[in-house]
Structure 1
Amino acid sequence: MSNEILLLVGALALLDMFSPSIIGVTVYLLLVAKKHQLRLVLTYLITVALFYFSTGIFLMLGLDVIFDPIANLLSSYSARLTMTFVGGILFIGSWLVPKKKTTGAPRPKTLHVSAMIALGFTTSILEVATALPYFAAIGILTSHHLSFYEWLPILAGYNLMMITPGIILLCFHLLFRRYMHQPLRKIQSLFEQSTSSALSWIMFFVGLILLINGGMI
């Protein structure tokens, strides 16, 4: 396994670290929950990470079975050309995403562990279809035909990186509770007033990484 693969997947994981749902829900829980903040936030973050990790394993195993016969029919040049074509579409499309305000991060109706698990599954299911960096990372791992013991820890590390901002915010809140209220409010306001520019940036970088991996840059 080359360092190039690790760098490409790591760059995609960095993009997923700025997930509006993960950061937005974490900030909301830290501001609203008066008790059991540690338990609630960790339950939510672990649920999201496990969902994406399980989805990644399923896709890696499924894509390997589906794409192996196709890969035998395609030359390496054709495969890279396809990757370059998809990357080019995403790169160009990133400049054409219309600007519009979002509704902010989803919020739980009750502050219980069971509600956090349900919220984690709900947000993951709703957003998995738009998880461009994650799908790109899985595509890169699949195209290099890595062994199970090689791609499994990479997926685990990817998902750990994805929830790292939420864990960092939780740690800062537990250590500096008195001083974190205003910064958390500003972060919440930023996400509630955010626009679709986040999607355009994700498309831009995913497209760029695919272009690099396709050998056209």
Structure 2
Amino acid sequence: MSIELLLSIGGLALLDTLSPATIGVTVYLLLTETKHLASRLLIYLLTVAGFYFSVGVMLMLGMGVLLESVASLFQSRVVSWVIFIIGVGLFIASFYTPQKGERELPRPKSKSRFSMVALGFTTALVEVGTAFPYFAAIGLMTTADLIPYQWLPVMAGYNFIMVLPPLILYLLYLLFGRMMHRPLEQLQMRIAKSSGSALSWVLCIVGLILIYNSLDYL
């Protein structure tokens, strides 16, 4: 496994930390939850990360079986051109993503532990359809022909990085208590208003990574 591959996947994981839904729900819980905050936030984040990890494992196993029969296909000029065109398309689409307008973020109807699990699944389902960095990372690991003991820890690390910002926010909340309320409220407003901008940057960078990794076989 090359350092270049790890850096690419690490960069994509950092992009996934921009998820407005996960951070938005975390901020909402920090502002409104007074009892059992730690357990409910942990349940929520474990559900999101567990869902993403499970989807990633299924995709890696499915793609691995497919690659056994058509391994050379992913190194062909035709497929490289398809990946290159997809990358160019994402790059161009990033300039046309709406930048303004508030987005309604998922919020729990109640704060029971079951509700946190349900909210975690809801958040994951909402975000997974547009999880371009995650799918790009899976594609990079697949084309690198990694074996399970190589890609499993990489994928686990990816999902840990993805939920790291909410954990950092929680630690800051523990350290500073009510002093964090005003910054959290400002962050909540900014997330609602800037989700389009974050998606634009994600599309742009994922597009460039796909373009870069397809150039060798064009």
With 73-82 and 5-14 compared, the bigger mean Cα shift is at 73-82
Unaligned segments of structure 1, at least 5 residues: none
2:135 alignment partner in structure 1: 135
2:214 alignment partner in structure 1: 214
1:63 correspondence with 2:63: yes
d(CA) in 1 for partners of 2:98 and 2:21?
21
Cα deviation, residue 159, structure 1: 0.1
d(CA) in 2 for partners of 1:74 and 1:18?
30
d(CA) in 1 for partners of 2:200 and 2:141?
24
Aligned length: 216
- Structure 1 segments, 4+ long, off by >6 Å, are none
User: Per the alignment, in what secondary structure is the counterpart of residue 95 of structure 1?
Assistant: helix
Cα deviation, residue 75, structure 1: 4.2
Cα deviation, residue 36, structure 1: 1.0
1:198 correspondence with 2:198: yes
CA deviation string 1:20-79 (max 9, x = no partner): 111100000000011111111111111100100011000000112224433334644444
Contact kept in structure 2, 1:104 and 1:191, CA below 8 Å: no
Structure with greater helix share of residues: 2
1:27 alignment partner in structure 2: 27
User: Per the alignment, in what secondary structure is the counterpart of residue 42 of structure 1?
Assistant: helix
d(CA) in 1 for partners of 2:28 and 2:149?
37
1:163 alignment partner in structure 2: 163
2:185 alignment partner in structure 1: 185
With 195-204 and 72-81 compared, the bigger mean Cα shift is at 72-81
d(CA) in 1 for partners of 2:157 and 2:42?
17
1:105 correspondence with 2:105: yes
Q: Identity percentage over the alignment?
A: 50
| TM-score, normalised with respect to structure 1 | 0.94
d(CA) in 2 for partners of 1:10 and 1:191?
23
d(CA) in 1 for partners of 2:75 and 2:165?
40
Alignment RMSD: 1.5
| TM-score, normalised with respect to structure 2 | 0.93
Cα deviation, residue 199, structure 1: 1.3
Cα deviation, residue 100, structure 1: 4.3
